[in-house]
Amino acid sequence: MCKHGGLNWLLTLQGLSCTPALSDSGNECINANAKYCGECIQAGAKCGWCKDPQGETVSTRCDEMESLIKRGCDKGMIENPRGEQRTLKNKAVTHRRKGADKLKPEDITQIQPQKLSLTLRSGEPQSFDLKFKRAEDYPIDLYYLMDLSYSMKDDLENVKNLGTSLMLEMSKITSDFKIGFGSFVEKTVMPYISTTPAKLLNPCTGDQNCTSPFSYKNVLRLTSDGKKFNTLVGQQHISGNLDSPEGGFDAIMQVAVCGEQIGWRNVTRLLVFSTDAGFHFAGDGKLGGIVLPNDGKCHLENNVYTMSHYYDYPSIAHLVQKLSDNNIQTIFAVTEEFQPVYQELKNLIPKSAVGTLSANSSNVINLIIDAYNSLSSEVILENSKLPEGLTIAYISRCKNGVVSEGENGRKCSNISIGDEVTFSISVTSKGCPKKGKSETIKIKPLGFTEEVEITLNFICECECHKDGVKNSPLCHFGNGTYECGACKCNEKRVGRQCECSSNDVATEDMDRTCRKDNGTDICSNNGDCVCGTCECKKRDNPEERYSGQYCECDNFNCDRSGNKLCGGHGRCECRVCVCDPMWTGSACDCSLDNSTCMASNKQICNGRGTCECGMCKCTDPKFQGPTCETCPTCPGVCIEHKECVQCRAFGTGEKKDKCEKDCSYFNLIKVKDRDKLPQPNDASYPLMHCKERDANDCWFYYTYAVNNNTEKEVHVVDTLDCPTGPDIIPIVAGVVAGIVLIGLALLLIWKLLMIIHDRREFAKFEKEKMNAKWDTGENPIYKSAVTTVVNPKYEGK
């Protein structure tokens, strides 16, 4: 076997010549065209580097392990470093029940492990399991942020007793609970509020006594004293503003970033946002002449937000970032009117919930409890920003054996206190990061302060890199570093031994070695001739590449089918499709799967055609269809042979007199019953089951087939299936009985109708009898002879 330029050359004995065999362009190690060991191991997890020069070109020394060993490289001379992982902190999750010894929040562990170190090799995933368990009696901080615009007047009355009531309810969940209170209205500039002196003192109309408008106040730092909450909240007064949307986003931002003033601990943090209106967001500040974006910093002086007139409202994305950074879970307690708005907002803010607030906030405690249970029953993992080229895959193993992957692999739902779930996390790097050799990422469950810190170290160089000799004389008078059996050239030097300058103009001799033959372009016009070696051009699409000693090959100029390269059923190697199993053709568009050609009788193309590329081509012109089973001009097979089968098997039928002459073209085999007839699955040739009826209405059953020896066979059941005559006596008895029953039914109906008619007539008679008058005492035709006339003018004088 000959070797030249990294390609295998097969020796042809007849002509004693070498012909090139195409390299595997699907091999990521060879395609990387690596010049030194570090570049090789970054090409893929399977790539190894042979430190033994072997007289080959540099590019052939980067290949898969098996290929290097087959080519004669000793296993001990192959650099193939592997990644590893170490657990630096692995404190077990806390198994603790309510009422047990009280622990500090920092002593409670819900996530395991806490710290890892991963050493990553390009393309090689490192996987580990992360365990999460909801601790019982875990401390909770709750901050109640309330809209104090005038429309919330009746709500404030109900919130004044919230402290002790909520303390009592939350004690059923945790023994360590703190509550705080803050209020907001609106930015203190026009057009959000009226800036007239009188309205600045009392923004309400009529006899209402309201406090001056403000943006946000931290009324009560987080405390475990519920009575203090009631006292301070009871001292609050309603304020007012002009427009309907409120400045709640300013308040949420300050609550999130002013941790020291609010008193947040490293425990479960809940923010209850209570309002009956919408919200302003980034950009709305321009109405008041405020154009500076919100800086996301704390600006509380004496517990009052002092920069509302200077900074715009925060954007939703800005709020999401700050709430996530500070592990705050938000509960929106809003009236039914604004439910749709805040539902949309909830979809944008992870670990948030929406509850329907009654008109006077009387249901706020139940709302908070329900929302907390909803939030705490779901765990969602998030990771910090990843270095370039790094990917993380999650697989969740939740309750009841539910396993999810992809985006759903980040979360588990319906988790109760004490439940334990596991996440399998896989970290993969592609290449090495540009900045340094070490990176740190963090993974944590949303809304929780605990996290896993992962230190990432990257394998960017081989072990033999440490033994490299800088400016080695082996590299053309010191123009490179000799490491791992090859020269790693200094800048602007190229060649196997760094013998050429990349600035040199290519000479005619160098060009000759870069041509496949005299009739072709230099490097096939797909690369540059550098120091007598073709360096192939890079494509804009990283998946497309040129390859080969003369850059004569590529992996994107193959035949297409259905607008897909190699029909989507193969890969393009040196402009020729290499098809997947069960596919063939220049574009891999011809399927070798015969299942689509299988007829209903389990024969390929019904035995009347050939299967080509998954489609039947019928050889008998009478037959057609996808499986050559349709014959529009053919008489039915069963009907065609019916008379002959009948005469030969039973001596009946129209052909019984000339049976021997016309019906001796098949072999007749009699069987006892239908179960003995051959079945399509039992035969290796077409087989037709037939059922026909003779002149006496008797059925007979047979099969017709042409066996592998082209002999026609008929298997027939030797007994006829004749219908039995009807049983006359039951039929006559049934008819007579039916007539009698129908007669009786008609008589009963007639009798019933007559009874109804008689009763109606009798009732009518009784009614007329009651209305009759018999004793008038006068002759109805008598008229008196006396006529009395009254003079209308007579006045009685």
What 3-state class would DSSP assign to 211? coil
Instruction: Look at residue 274 and tell me whether its pLDDT is greater than 50.
Output: yes
Averaged pLDDT score across all residues of the chain = 83
**Among the listed residues 455, 375, 388, the one whose alpha carbon sits nearest the alpha carbon of residue 115:** 455
Instruction: Look at residue 796 and tell me whether its pLDDT is greater than 70.
Output: no
Q: What residues pair up with 143 in beta bridges, in sequence order? A: 180, 271
Residues 24-38 have a mean pLDDT of 73
How far is residue 601's CA from residue 592's CA, in Å, rounded to a whole number? 20
Instruction: Look at residue 84 and tell me whether its pLDDT is greater than 80.
Output: yes
Chain centre distance of CA 253: 33
| Window from 452-461, 520-529, 558-567, 731-740 with minimum mean pLDDT | 520-529
Which amino acid would we find at residue 2? C
Residues 120-124 have a mean pLDDT of 91
Cβ atoms of residues 413 and 398 within 8 Å: yes
What is the model's pTM?
A: 0.57
Phi-psi region of 306 (alpha: psi -120 to 50; beta: other; left: phi over 0): alpha
Question: Hey, what are 106's tokens?
Answer: 């920092």
> How are strands ordered across the β-sheet holding 379-383?
84-89, 115-120, 452-458, 438-445, 379-383, 411-412
Q: Residues of CATH 2.10.25.10 domain(s) within the chain? A: 468-500, 560-591
Give 613-641 pLDDT, tens digit per residue. Answer: 888 888 877 777 788 876 645 667 788 78
Residues 484-509 have a mean pLDDT of 73
Give 370-423 pLDDT, tens digit per residue. Answer: 888 888 888 999 999 898 889 999 999 998 889 999 889 999 988 888 888 999
- Please, what CATH class does the domain formed by 560-591 belong to? mainly beta
How far is residue 178's CA from residue 163's CA, in Å, rounded to a whole number? 10
The correct answer on CATH 2.10.25.10 for the domain covering 468-500 is yes
Position 3 scores a pLDDT of 34
The correct answer on CATH 3.40.50.620 for the domain covering 140-377 is no
Q: Residues of CATH 4.10.1240.30 domain(s) within the chain? A: 637-717
Q: Classify domain 84-97+104-136+381-459 by CATH architecture.
A: Sandwich (2.60)
Right CATH for 637-717 from 3.40.50.180, 1.20.140.10, 3.40.47.10, 4.10.1240.30: 4.10.1240.30
Helix 162-170 crosses helix 226-234 at what angle (to 10 degrees)? 150
Give 566-618 pLDDT, tens digit per residue. Answer: 988 888 988 899 999 888 888 898 888 888 888 887 888 888 888 888 888 88
Instruction: Look at residue 739 and tell me whether its pLDDT is greater than 90.
Output: yes
Position 17 scores a pLDDT of 31
Q: Which long-range contacts (CB under 8 A, 24 or more apart) does 288-297 make?
A: 288/187, 288/189, 288/190, 288/191, 288/192, 289/189, 290/187, 290/189, 294/250, 294/253, 294/318, 296/253, 296/257, 296/321, 296/322, 297/257
Residues 235-243 have a mean pLDDT of 84
Position 24 scores a pLDDT of 43
Q: What are phi and psi of 732, to 5 degrees?
A: -65, -45
Q: Residues of CATH 2.60.40.1510 domain(s) within the chain? A: 84-97+104-136+381-459
Which amino acid would we find at residue 324? S
Helix 248-257 crosses helix 316-325 at what angle (to 10 degrees)? 30
Query: Best-predicted range by mean pLDDT among 115-119, 517-521, 544-548?
Result: 115-119
